[in-house]
Structure 1
Amino acid sequence: MRPDAIRGHLDGLILSVLEAGPRHGYAIIEALQLRSGGVLDLPTGTVYPALRRLERAALLSGAWSVVGGRKRRTYTLTRAGRHALAGQRTEWTEFSSVVDAVLRPVAGGQA
């Protein structure tokens, strides 16, 4: 998958993997990769700036914790983040339906 294919959708993807509960940054990357069947193998340079941006927007709350003896920033979805995720899902459903309707072959070659 082309890296620019997720542009505009990364926030929703991150919010979605945090819906199940708090995760640290690398665990978010792993969850995205796992849930996408390995297709989304996003670099830290893509995910961490998005996490900081989502935290500044109050869609996530972050806290330092020790995981396996290492200090890590753990992110949790906020109430506003849950609301934003619901909106992202609605937008995605509408967008994917429109794109599907346009890309689907038309019988008889009609426009």
Structure 2
Amino acid sequence: MTMELPGAGDQRRSQLLRGVLDLCLLSLIAERPRYGYEFVEALTESGLELVSEGSIYPLLARMERAGLVASYRAPSSSGGAPRKYYRLTEAGRAELDHGRTVWREFATQAARILTDTTDTTESIAPAEPTGGTTS
């Protein structure tokens, strides 16, 4: 029987997502230019509801500074203030292609370990005694 801390599953998911969130955003932008809240909606629809706008905007800003995305303003369809949209640059497309390759390799290797090994708790060795000698 395993004991899981409350919220440990969400915490693990959050840590995994943090490692690939930039690739997820680049992939969403590759589909079409998007504005901030559209990322949250698309991620939530894909089952990644742990992401808030507060974590997306700083990442988008870093990606823009790195030259992976470019932004532009366009009128809001609801008649409000213009929205800031993000689109991929050539460097962003190259980063996405490379990141997808790395992700596929990593996911395949991790899946191999997680699915091809068996849990044999009987094989866990008891702790070695310390300080004693055997004769």
TM-score range, shorter-chain basis?
Answer: 0.7 to 0.9
Bigger RCO (CA 8 Å, 6+ sep): 1
1:39: Cα distance to partner?
3.2
Cα distance between partner residues in 2 of 1:107 and 1:44: 40
Number of the residue aligned with 2:72:
63
In the superposition, the TM-score normalised over structure 1's length comes to 0.86
Number of the residue aligned with 1:47:
56
Closer, same or farther: CA 86–10 of 1 in aligned 2, 3 Å: same
Which consecutive residues of structure 2, in runs of 5 or more, have no partner in the other structure?
Answer: 1-9, 124-135
1:65: Cα distance to partner?
1.8
- Please state which structure has a larger fraction of its residues in strand: 1
Which consecutive residues of structure 1, in runs of 5 or more, have no partner in the other structure?
Answer: none
Cα distance between partner residues in 1 of 2:98 and 2:26: 11
Please list, as runs of the form range in 1=range in 2, the aligned pairs for 1:20-99 lying within 5 A after superposition.
Answer: 20-34=31-45, 36=46, 38-67=47-76, 68-69=78-79, 70-99=81-110
**Identity across aligned pairs (percent)?**
36
Aligned-residue CA RMSD in angstroms?
1.9
Kindly indicate whether the alpha-carbon contact (under 8 Å) linking 1:29 and 1:41 is maintained by their aligned counterparts in 2. Answer: no
Equivalent pairs, count: 108
In the superposition, the TM-score normalised over structure 2's length comes to 0.72
Could you say which structure has the larger radius of gyration?
2
Cα distance between partner residues in 2 of 1:46 and 1:107: 37
